[in-house]
Amino acid sequence: MLYMKLAKPVLFRMDPEKAHHLVIDGLGACGRMPGVPGVMRALYDTPESGELAVELLGLRFRHPVGLAAGLDKNAKAVGMFANIGFGFAEVGTVTPKGQPGNELPRLFRLPPDEALVNRMGFNNEGAESMARRLAAGKRHAIPIAVNIGKNKTTPNELAHEDYRKCLQVLYPYGDFFVVNISSPNTPDLRALQHGDELKLLVRTVMEEAAGQAKKHGGTRKPVFVKIAPDMTAEQLAYTVETIAAGGIDGIIATNTTIGRGGLTHPHARETGGLSGRPLRERSTEVVREVYRQTGGKLPIIGSGGIFTADDAYDKIRAGASLVEIYTALIYRGPELLRELAEGLKERLRRDGFSHIIDAVGADHR
């Protein structure tokens, strides 16, 4: 309860973005202090559990709960995510060139709704900077995904080249990669989810990943595509079909939403992507539909509105092999990781499953 009683009251009196930077910079500094990582593990780490371990696409996840992209945009605190209990983590979104993102203010809390609205706009230091930071770090204790995007000034017809450049620079340093085409905060980015632009992007990314694997040796690293929750049924069907046909290894469902239904806080009027509890049901619906459409053959990472073990378990039963949190970490703190892991084990036993993989897609059987 250290976070809820001590840290959160202080952080929530600060500007949200300043608090964000304080947390990431603080975690990064803690990772370099002798003895501090061990203290953090003692406070927050989730014990190893065979029933929660996931083997997926050649990677081992000690449990299925990871950190979604957006918190650590520049890979400053990668070494600490395992110490506070995550099973994996995404860094980014990173673009080929560094960019400042959108104008301030651009991050808003909605406490009664347990939600955030952001219009950050892929603010980051660029792919080369991230590569240097990851290269200088120690071997990852958990799988690290690199979430890649396009620069704001790059037109959509050239977007595939930005994703190619990110892979060229960062391929040696990520355990898997996530193609972000679903943020609502970069103009026209979501148009890349449809039509010929999506086909070209998928083909380019997979060709580059294969080329990098040949260059560096070993099997090709997995590539996921992160999709939006706001597509129509027809759009979603086409997007999933194109992604699957293009050889992409998995889908992350979902990114933030532009919807605002049921919110009570005045910040609901702010433009940007909404994350947190209000996204829970819609993101689970998208997980369920992707699993149904692909017959459970395309791995899914469920993301959106996970605050409790029931929330995580619902996404797993709907078809997610792994799940991610972000906004819940802001509202509940790192204590949540152990709570989710223990809660998932309780639900497996309740339903008669011996392993978390047995529950994946259970609602479809």
- The percentage of the chain sitting over the pLDDT mark of 90, rounded to a whole number, equals 86
pLDDT at 1 over 80: no
* Average pLDDT score over residue span 335-356: 97
What's the rounded Cα separation, in Å, for the pair 11 and 18? 9
Please check whether residue 92 is in contact with residue 42, taking contact to mean a CB–CB distance below 8 angstroms.
no
Q: How many helices (H) and strands (E) does the chain have?
A: 14, 15
Please check whether residue 178 is in contact with residue 243, taking contact to mean a CB–CB distance below 8 angstroms.
no
Domain assignment of residue 221, given as a range: 2-364
Looking only at the bridges linking them, the beta strands covering 115-118 and 273-276 are antiparallel
For residue range 26-81, list pLDDT tens digits in order. Answer: 999 988 889 988 988 888 888 888 999 999 999 999 999 999 999 999 999 999 99
pLDDT recorded at residue 95? 98
Please check whether residue 197 is in contact with residue 163, taking contact to mean a CB–CB distance below 8 angstroms.
no
What are the catalytic residues? 183
For residue range 8-29, list pLDDT tens digits in order. Answer: 999 999 999 999 999 999 999 9
Cis preceding linkage at 254, omega within 30 = yes
CB-side neighbour CA atoms (13 Å) of 90? 28
- Identity of residue 174: G
DSSP-based three-state secondary structure for 257: strand
If pLDDT is split at 50, 70 and 90, which confidence band does 137 have?
A: confident
pLDDT recorded at residue 48? 85
- Identity of residue 51: E
CB-side neighbour CA atoms (13 Å) of 287? 36
What's the rounded Cα separation, in Å, for the pair 12 and 22? 12
pLDDT recorded at residue 49? 87
CA distances from 278 to 43, 312, 325 (A): 30, 14, 13
For residue range 166-206, list pLDDT tens digits in order. Answer: 999 999 999 999 999 998 889 888 888 888 899 999 999 99
Provide the whole-model pTM.
Answer: 0.96
Strand order from edge to edge, sheet including 107-110: 107-110, 115-118, 273-276
DSSP type of residue 103: P
Helices marked H in 84-183: 127-136, 159-170
Lowest mean pLDDT among 92-106, 178-192, 223-237, 297-311: 178-192
CATH code assigned at 194: 3.20.20.70
If pLDDT is split at 50, 70 and 90, which confidence band does 2 have?
A: confident
DSSP-based three-state secondary structure for 218: coil
- Number of domains observed in the structure of the chain: 1
Helical (H) or strand (E) element with 199: helix 195-216
Please check whether residue 130 is in contact with residue 92, taking contact to mean a CB–CB distance below 8 angstroms.
yes
For residue range 294-326, list pLDDT tens digits in order. Answer: 999 999 999 999 999 999 999 999 999 999 999
What's the rounded Cα separation, in Å, for the pair 323 and 318? 11
